[in-house]
Structure 1
Amino acid sequence: MVRKMGIYAVLAYVIYGLFFYWYLFYFADTKLPFEYQGSKADPATFLNGRELMLSEEYSKIRNLLFFLSTPFEWLFYFVILLFGFSRAFKRWAESTSKYKLLQTAIYLIWLSFFAYVATFPLSYISYSLSKTYHISTQTFPSWMKDELIDFWINYGTWLIIVPVIYWLMKKSKRWWFYAWLLSIPFTLFMMFLQPVVIDPLYNDFYPLKNKELETKILTMADKAHIPAKHVFEVNMAEKTNSMNAYVTGIGSNARIVLWDTTLNQLSDRQILFIMAHEMCHYVEKHIYFGIAGYLLLSLLGLYLANRIMDWAIKRWGTELKIPEKRDIRSLPLFLMIISFLMFAASPFTNLISRYEESRADNYAIHMTKDPEAAITSFQELTKSGLSQVNPPLLVKIFRYDHPSMLDRISMLEEYEIKHRKQIK
């Protein structure tokens, strides 16, 4: 029975992978609708032939890696349970220490290590791909440093969360609700900590060096009633050629951040449009709506995880080597279910995010009234990241938390046409 379940799981993953390979490379049509051909949203108007070819190649492979990565995580956790590795991790932990907390920490380090080793090939392929297409400029030692930082941050986070969850499981059948209540202050604390503790582990952040540009940005922020004193830049040129800007943190630790690649590759007018976009997220409190939405979804997720775990252990507990839910050996099952639920929820969360990003684009163009700078900034972003202007439907649904460049540039073109009519 165990062997059959393992074979079926691997076979399902292979069929799933072949489907997405066929969908992305043979079925999906990324050509622009006829009415957009020749417009400013048409990549043929701002990319040369080689760039067009590279953007299609890179996007297809990157999208395939995305669709392969998350289900591979499910397959890994399933195999860990099916072949008794989770039971072995617990046995090794118990033979190493007599203290429960230390046993949990040892179990987690074994599980984290095996997960890292299993997923490393896909991570390295993704890194190598971005190097091949000249998106990444990061050296291998620098990339490995970031990978190890990720590993220890994830391990430290789970070292806090897992003992609490399993303690609650032993105390109450409504553990999922109490775990959710505790997750609220923890989430807010981590969001507050992110800009000043976690992000600087990866890169150096400092106030914008271009004081003339900073003055323009702060003047615009003042008009929007944003009490900003600084705009931060981060040194990303040593890692990537792509561009980005974002809002991070909450409360007094909230920051607007610009990558130095954005500063190096865009004009002041283009940067002001991007900054106006980021200011909208602050003005319309998108960060706080995002936190509220995340917490609501996490409540539903924990409830469903509890129900699914009960059902799975009752039906396949013997095959999965899980005697009961409260046993630490059930952790891979819990992580697999949470990962699946997050993937299943991504179309909804991406839809909400695309709506907020669309509002931010509208806010930015009405604030700056500079459609040329806005359109060319999106064209440059497309070029630097070799992005698809019109991604396949499933890619857009599961992967895009921003509107496609076709949607964004065509909206700006409509504004530009209306603006010209108003001037006349």
Structure 2
Amino acid sequence: MTRTVTDTPSGLRGAGWALAVLGAATLVVVALTTPWRALPADAPPVAPDPARDFTAAQIARSESFDAVVSAPGYLSLGLTLIVAGALVGTPLGARLLGGLRGPWWLRVLLGVLLLSAAVEVLRWPLGMWSETYLREFGLSTQGWPAWSADRVKNIAVRTGLLAIMVLAVVALARRCRRWWAPAAIGAFALTVLASFAYPVVIEPIFNDFTPMPAGRLRDDLLAMAARDGVPVEDVLVADASRRTTALNAYVSGFGATRRIVVYDTLLRAPGDQVELVVAHELGHAKAGDVLYGTLVGGLAAACGACLLYLLTSAGPVRRRAGVASPADPRAVGLVMGVLTLATVLSGPAQNLVSRHIEARADAHALDLTGEPVVFAAMQKRLAITNISDLSPSAIEYLIYVSHPTTPQRIAMARSWARLNGMREP
């Protein structure tokens, strides 16, 4: 039998006040930590212009690639929203999970597994569709067995984290009326824990890492990090070439676990361009972007817990979803639907902040290396190799684009060069 803990007006008011306070705190932290201007106010403005840096053939290839991958991408997004909306607005989830038997916690875990599996089965053909275009344009180097294995691992990680969250929500709802308070604390703590655990627990699931061989490039990268005042334990090479031809690098971890990670595909680029990519990533570490991002993510997760309480405690929402309370294991679908919608709807705001943070890291790379010409050449190499979208539509820019476009980044390098009296790319 399901134990039902009903909400009270005071509980709803408490959750509402907590949501308001946490939401305000989140906005304040975002406002104070986001670099709304990457360059000084007196930096000369330079308009982005793809035609200035890319040939007509390169622009056409970018547009062709974007056109073909957009279809499965938008369909996948639409499918996600439709399923989430159905789980929140209809009794679909409760009916699908109503036949499960066993202890409440087992029904919750099975419910998360079954609903996640159903969604992934629907999305699998769309993933294959997109993968065929990645291969056609030379971005993917995987066979279907390796692609499937990586996709299954990704699904397993996401489903595992989701199961922990949903199980915690139902367990708390069964124990206390005002479960929003421990849920908010737990959501914050889980976000922080996941951020710290990701480099040592999750990353090795998807890539093998080997120390970069001793040599000039490794010495230069470590020297640049030291000059920048960013302690780095090691320089690692990720075996990205087993799945892609794309170029990338990043700085991962905190304190004793911080390391520079370079895709093995990037090692084919000239050393000075590799250094600029790493200089950008050092900018994130220098500014504490991961730490501030973790703080914002934790506060947003706490807000989400309060919002989840308010929505799942609302009578109309519960009636439409066909459940008596979030303590009912059949409420798994409702909880998953709310979490999915919140994640998708918050995406544009996250992208807006991310673009400014990435622009600051670009400015940091220019300040650290003093090489705007090399910076522009590196950005062109990245865009051509990764087939970046040079002129995304307004909708794509809003929903998907988490970095400035390549023309915007090159334009900033030109502005930086003019500001500092150096040769313009």
Pick the TM interval, shorter chain: 0.7 to 0.9
Is 1:268 matched up with 2:275?
no
CA contact (8 A) 1:86 1:329 kept: yes
Give me the whole-angstrom Cα distance separating, in 2, the residues matched to 1:192 and 1:316.
Answer: 35
Give me the whole-angstrom Cα distance separating, in 1, the residues matched to 2:294 and 2:403.
Answer: 18
Query: What is the CA-CA distance between 1:172 and the residue it aligns to?
Result: 2.6
- For 2:415, give the aligned amino acid: E
CA contact (8 A) 1:195 1:255 kept: no
Give me the whole-angstrom Cα distance separating, in 2, the residues matched to 1:175 and 1:370.
Answer: 54
For residues 94-133 of structure 1, what are the structure 2 equivalents within 5 Å? 94=101, 98-133=102-137
Give the 3-state SS of the residue equivalent to 2:391 in structure 1. coil
For residues 324-335 of structure 1, what are the structure 2 equivalents within 5 Å? 324-335=325-336
Question: What's 1:361 paired with?
Answer: 362
- For 1:75, give the aligned amino acid: I
- For 1:88, give the aligned amino acid: L
Give the 3-state SS of the residue equivalent to 2:197 in structure 1. helix
For residues 3-42 of structure 1, what are the structure 2 equivalents within 5 Å? 42=49
Question: What's 2:398 paired with?
Answer: 397
Query: What is the CA-CA distance between 1:371 and the residue it aligns to?
Result: 1.1
Question: What's 1:150 paired with?
Answer: 154
CA contact (8 A) 1:205 1:235 kept: yes
Question: What's 2:63 paired with?
Answer: 56
Q: Which moved more, 1:54-63 or 1:145-154?
A: 54-63
For residues 185-264 of structure 1, what are the structure 2 equivalents within 5 Å? 185-209=189-213, 211-264=215-268
Question: What's 1:380 paired with?
Answer: 381
Among 272, 286, 294, the alignment partner of 2:297 is 294
Give me the whole-angstrom Cα distance separating, in 2, the residues matched to 1:109 and 1:377.
Answer: 43
Give the 3-state SS of the residue equivalent to 2:261 in structure 1. strand
Change (3 A) 1:309 1:66: farther
TM-score (norm 2): 0.82
Deviations along 1:83-127, one digit per CA (max 9) or x if unpaired, are 6454333423x1xxx333333332232222212112212222222
Question: What's 1:178 paired with?
Answer: 182
Among 93, 97, 102, the alignment partner of 1:89 is 97
For residues 403-422 of structure 1, what are the structure 2 equivalents within 5 Å? 403-420=404-421
Change (3 A) 1:101 1:319: closer
- For 1:279, give the aligned amino acid: L
Question: What's 1:30 paired with?
Answer: none
Give the 3-state SS of the residue equivalent to 1:233 in structure 2. strand
Query: What is the CA-CA distance between 1:223 and the residue it aligns to?
Result: 1.0
Is 1:339 matched up with 2:340?
yes
Question: Which ranges of 4 or more aligned residues in structure 1 deviate by more than 6 Å?
Answer: none
Give me the whole-angstrom Cα distance separating, in 1, the residues matched to 2:150 and 2:200.
Answer: 17
Deviations along 1:320-361, one digit per CA (max 9) or x if unpaired, are 332323212222222222222222222222122111111111
Question: What's 1:309 paired with?
Answer: 312
CA contact (8 A) 2:191 2:297 kept: no
Q: Which moved more, 1:223-232 or 1:356-365?
A: 223-232
Change (3 A) 1:303 1:370: same
Give me the whole-angstrom Cα distance separating, in 2, the residues matched to 1:251 and 1:70.
Answer: 37
Give the 3-state SS of the residue equivalent to 1:223 in structure 2. helix
Query: What is the CA-CA distance between 1:78 and the residue it aligns to?
Result: 4.2
CA contact (8 A) 2:207 2:238 kept: yes
Query: Taking every aligned residue pair, what percent have the same amino acid on both sides?
Result: 24
Question: What's 1:36 paired with?
Answer: none
CA contact (8 A) 2:245 2:385 kept: yes
- For 2:82, give the aligned amino acid: L
CA contact (8 A) 1:205 1:232 kept: yes
Deviations along 1:282-328, one digit per CA (max 9) or x if unpaired, are 111010010011112112222222222333xx225445332323212
Give me the whole-angstrom Cα distance separating, in 2, the residues matched to 1:346 and 1:119.
Answer: 20
CA contact (8 A) 2:172 2:179 kept: yes
CA contact (8 A) 1:375 1:409 kept: yes
Give me the whole-angstrom Cα distance separating, in 2, the residues matched to 1:343 and 1:411.
Answer: 30
**Gaps in structure 1 of 5+ consecutive residues:** 1-38
Query: What is the CA-CA distance between 1:263 and the residue it aligns to?
Result: 1.3
Query: What is the CA-CA distance between 1:156 and the residue it aligns to?
Result: 2.4
- For 1:335, give the aligned amino acid: M
Query: What is the CA-CA distance between 1:166 and the residue it aligns to?
Result: 0.6
Give me the whole-angstrom Cα distance separating, in 2, the residues matched to 1:125 and 1:224.
Answer: 43
Give the 3-state SS of the residue equivalent to 1:414 in structure 2. helix
Give me the whole-angstrom Cα distance separating, in 1, the residues matched to 2:423 and 2:136.
Answer: 47
Give the 3-state SS of the residue equivalent to 1:256 in structure 2. strand
Query: What is the CA-CA distance between 1:150 and the residue it aligns to?
Result: 1.5
Change (3 A) 1:80 1:297: closer
Aligned length: 378
CA contact (8 A) 1:78 1:332 kept: no
- For 1:120, give the aligned amino acid: W
Deviations along 1:252-306, one digit per CA (max 9) or x if unpaired, are 3233211111111x21111111111111111110100100111121122222222
Q: Which moved more, 1:230-239 or 1:58-67?
A: 58-67
Structure with the bigger RCO (C-alpha within 8 Å, sep 6+) is 2
Change (3 A) 1:249 1:191: farther
Change (3 A) 1:301 1:55: same
Give me the whole-angstrom Cα distance separating, in 1, the residues matched to 2:343 and 2:91.
Answer: 25
Query: What is the CA-CA distance between 1:240 and the residue it aligns to?
Result: 0.9
State the Cα RMSD in Å. 2.4
Deviations along 1:384-423, one digit per CA (max 9) or x if unpaired, are 1111223222222221111111211001012223444699
CA contact (8 A) 1:396 1:404 kept: no
Is 1:75 matched up with 2:82?
yes
